[in-house]
Chain A
Amino acid sequence: MKPNKNIWQSIRFSPLFKSIFRHGYDDTKQNKILQIRSNVFLHLHPVKVPAHAMKIRFTWCMGGITFFLFLVETITGILLMFYYRPVPEYAYQDMKYLEFDVPFGILLRNIHRWAAHLMVGTVMLHMLRVFLTGSYKPPREFNWVVGVMLLIFTFLLSFTGYLLPWDQLAYWAITVGTNMIRATPFIGHEGPFALLDKYNDVRFMILGGTEIGANALLRFYVLHIVVLPAAAIIFMAVHFWRIRKDGGISGPL
């Protein structure tokens, strides 16, 4: 063992530290490869990527930014859950509580809200970029389909979250949105060829009632914090895995 020059050195080369972080910043090719290979998070990446994969002009970085925003949403969302109760009697109160009484509550809520808007935008731009570079072409067809699913999940995540503040904006935006479901052919009670009435149609199934009330709020909450994020995570895992398995980032032949 080297003689310890200072505290940092003694930590850096201690058995404890070494057991957690095995590789330093040595500028050798082997070490650079190990940095990626031996890190569970970084090995999302291949060890090497083609030169154009590092050009923002080519990638617009939109996929990566979307993933980052998803992480931001997860963290801020979990923190907001500590103070939010998805019940009509409390939901709005809790928003006010977060806004005025919880330390950094308003900041977290703002970040959560703005990052959600941003994420919807970056997902759409990511799709545009992937289309313009023809990156859906074989062998990446299925990954494009997974991407479309992720686009839908992003819309739905944002949409279900929109109801939760339980204010006029939320209530009426979701009213307008969910009222369209009534018009679904066959399974909506006001659509063409309606087979069901308002107590058993598809809108009733989603809202858990005929109007947006306590059941709808709870359902949107459960969808927003468990069902849709879980679905998004599964599809993201497939999406990232398939990028690697389909030959990495697309590039000119």
Chain B
Amino acid sequence: MHTDVHKTEITRRSLLSLLGWGAFFTTLAISVPASIRFLFPRVLFEKPSTFKIGAPDDFRINGNSEHQVYETWKAEHSVWLVKEKNRIYAVHAKCTHLGCTPNWFPDEGVFKCPCHGSQFNRSGVNFAGPAPRPLDRLKISIGKDGMLVVDKSRVYTFNEFDKQGTYVEV
């Protein structure tokens, strides 16, 4: 038998071909996004994003500088607590260039990143190296029990530093 391919009428062969390829591409269209979704877990076994750091009065400035940087939570949570005269804020210990952990040099009053040499002053503002912006800050608030709570899931970049939640007045 001879089939004219230029005719648009539906033959048994063309219908089956359509069905076959249709099923193939439908399966593909469902399974590819599903496989990609598979790679994004619903639950993460990472450290909880909020943690208590103590009462506001626990933080005070030693000596006659205007800043005090607390390194207590750096090892576990990658956070520095900075106490200024009348505010406390949480600085994210993660270089804004490529995410290495900077180190705090109290004598110089400088955060230095070991990876590409970015440097930040005591309030986290970048002044040397490739870092594109100041160190980010994390949400800090006073909980119901009067204790300070840091929430790492909310990150503020430098143009949001005046927003509520970036610091606590004391």
Judged by CB atoms under 8 Å, the answer to whether A and B touch is yes
Q: Is B115 an interface residue (CB 8 A)?
A: yes
Known A210-B44, A213-B46, A215-B45; 20 more pairs at CB < 8 Å? A172-B100, A172-B115, A175-B98, A175-B99, A175-B100, A176-B115, A179-B98, A179-B99, A204-B40, A205-B36, A205-B39, A205-B40, A208-B39, A208-B40, A208-B41, A209-B41, A209-B44, A210-B46, A211-B46, A213-B45
Which has the most chain A C-beta neighbours within 10 Å: B36, B45, B98, B115?
B98
* 7 nearest A-B pairs in the assembled complex, by CB-CB distance: A179-B99, A179-B98, A205-B39, A209-B44, A209-B46, A176-B98, A208-B41
Q: Is A231 an interface residue (CB 8 A)?
A: no
Q: Is A237 an interface residue (CB 8 A)?
A: no
**Using Cβ atoms and an 8 Å threshold, which residues of chain B touch A179?**
98-99
Q: B40 contacts A180, CB within 8 Å? A: no
**Using Cβ atoms and an 8 Å threshold, which residues of chain A touch B45?**
213-215
**Using Cβ atoms and an 8 Å threshold, which residues of chain A touch B46?**
209-211, 213
Q: How many residues of A contact B (CB 8 A)?
A: 16
Q: B41 contacts A176, CB within 8 Å? A: no
When chains A and B are docked, how far (Å) is the Cα of A211 from the Cα of B39? 15
**Using Cβ atoms and an 8 Å threshold, which residues of chain A touch B36?**
205
Q: Is A182 an interface residue (CB 8 A)?
A: yes
**Using Cβ atoms and an 8 Å threshold, which residues of chain A touch B44?**
209-210, 215
Query: Taking the nearest CB of chain A, how far is it from the CB of B89, in angstroms?
Result: 21
**Using Cβ atoms and an 8 Å threshold, which residues of chain B touch A204?**
40
Which B residues fall within an 8 A CB radius of A? 36, 39-41, 44-46, 98-100, 115
**Using Cβ atoms and an 8 Å threshold, which residues of chain A touch B98?**
175-176, 179-180
When chains A and B are docked, how far (Å) is the Cα of A87 from the Cα of B29? 34
When chains A and B are docked, how far (Å) is the Cα of A205 from the Cα of B38? 9
**Using Cβ atoms and an 8 Å threshold, which residues of chain A touch B40?**
200, 204-205, 208
**Using Cβ atoms and an 8 Å threshold, which residues of chain B touch A215?**
41, 44-45
When chains A and B are docked, how far (Å) is the Cα of A180 from the Cα of B99? 9
- Residue of A with least CB distance to B153: A199
When chains A and B are docked, how far (Å) is the Cα of A205 from the Cα of B33? 13
When chains A and B are docked, how far (Å) is the Cα of A175 from the Cα of B114? 13
When chains A and B are docked, how far (Å) is the Cα of A176 from the Cα of B45? 22
**Using Cβ atoms and an 8 Å threshold, which residues of chain B touch A176?**
98, 100, 115
- Residue of B with least CB distance to A211: B46
When chains A and B are docked, how far (Å) is the Cα of A172 from the Cα of B116? 13
Interface residues of A in 146-183 (CB under 8 A from B): 172, 175-176, 179-180, 182
When chains A and B are docked, how far (Å) is the Cα of A211 from the Cα of B78? 12
When chains A and B are docked, how far (Å) is the Cα of A226 from the Cα of B99? 29
Interface residues of A in 50-88 (CB under 8 A from B): none
When chains A and B are docked, how far (Å) is the Cα of A215 from the Cα of B45? 9
When chains A and B are docked, how far (Å) is the Cα of A210 from the Cα of B99? 11
When chains A and B are docked, how far (Å) is the Cα of A215 from the Cα of B39? 10
When chains A and B are docked, how far (Å) is the Cα of A184 from the Cα of B85? 40
**Using Cβ atoms and an 8 Å threshold, which residues of chain B touch A209?**
41, 44, 46
When chains A and B are docked, how far (Å) is the Cα of A213 from the Cα of B43? 13
- Residue of A with least CB distance to B41: A208
- Residue of A with least CB distance to B97: A179
